[in-house]
Amino acid sequence: MFTDFFKQNAKWIGAVAALLAFNVATFLLFAQPKLNHEAIQREQWQRISALQEETRVQMNRLLDDLRVVRDQNANLNRFYTEILGTRARQLDELLEETERLGRRHGVLPVQVRYSGAEVRGQPLEHFSMGFPLVGNYASLRFFINALERSDMFFIIDSVELAEPRQGEELEMRISVVTYFHRPMAREEEEL
C-alpha cells in the first residue's frame, strides 16, 4: 500500500523532500551560524558585564583609597603647619616656652645650645636644644613634666643628673628635640 501511494505521489513526495532538504540546508547555512553568533555574543556580553562589574568594584575601592590618602595628606599637612610650624615662625615661641616653664618652676636655663639639621628626604628640620639646669629635685621634676605636657612639640632626648655638691642644689643637663616643617623644593620631592 505504501509503495502504491509512493508511486502515485512520487512527484509530490520528491517536491516535499526537496523543499525539506532546502529548508534544512538554509537553516544550516544561514540560521544556525546566526544562532551560534548570537550565543557567542550573549556569552561575550555576560563576560563584559562581569568584567564591568569587577572594574566598578575596583574603581570604588580605589576611590575609597584615594579619599583615605587625601584625608591622611590633609592630616599630615595640618600636623606640619599647625603642630610643627616653620622654624622662622616657631623658634621664638619655642625658646620663650622653655624660658617660661623654667621661670615658673625656678630652674631657669641659663646657657642654651641649639643646632638644627635638615632631615634628608623629608620636609622636616631636626632641631635640638641642650641646657644645664640647677634646682631642687621637685622643681626639676616639675619642669620636665611641664615640658612634656607643653602644647609645643618637644621630645626629651636625654636627661643627665650631676652629683650634687654638699648643701647645693641638683645640677641637671637636659637635651630636648623638636622638628620644624621645612617645605621641600620641587626637585627634592621628586627624588
Domain boundaries, the chain: 1-84, 85-189
Q: How many residues does the chain have?
A: 191
Q: How many CB atoms lie within 10 A of CB 181?
A: 21
- ∠ Cα 92 125 175 (to 5°): 65
pLDDT given for residue 62 in this prediction? 96
Which of 28-32, 33-37, 82-86 has the highest mean predicted lDDT (pLDDT)? 82-86
Dihedrals phi, psi of 84, to nearest 5 degrees: -80, -50
Instruction: Tell me the percentage of the chain whose pLDDT exceeds 90.
Output: 18
Q: What integer pLDDT is reported at residue 64 of this predicted model?
A: 97
| CA–CA distance, 118 with 177 (Å, rounded to integer) | 13
The whole-model pTM stands at 0.59
pLDDT tens, position by position, 32-60: 777 777 777 888 899 999 999 999 999 99
- Residue 166 pLDDT class (50, 70, 90 cuts): low
Question: How far apart, in whole angstroms, are the C-alpha atoms of residue 102 and residue 125?
Answer: 25
The DSSP 8-state label assigned to residue 166 in this structure reads T
Q: Say yes or no to pLDDT of 189 above 60.
A: no
Cell 544561514: give the residue.
30
CA–CA separation, 97 and 151 (whole Å)? 9
Per-residue model confidence (pLDDT) at position 49: 93
Q: Which of 11-25, 67-81, 84-98, 167-181 has the highest mean pLDDT?
A: 67-81
Q: Report d(CA 161, CA 144) in Å as an integer.
A: 13
Start-end of H helices in the chain? 2-8, 10-26, 32-78, 87-105, 137-149, 186-190
Residue 151 pLDDT > 80? yes
pLDDT of 191 reads 46
Class of domain 85-189: alpha beta
Q: How is residue 125 written as a grid cell?
A: 628640620
Comparing 91 with 66, which gets the higher pLDDT? 66
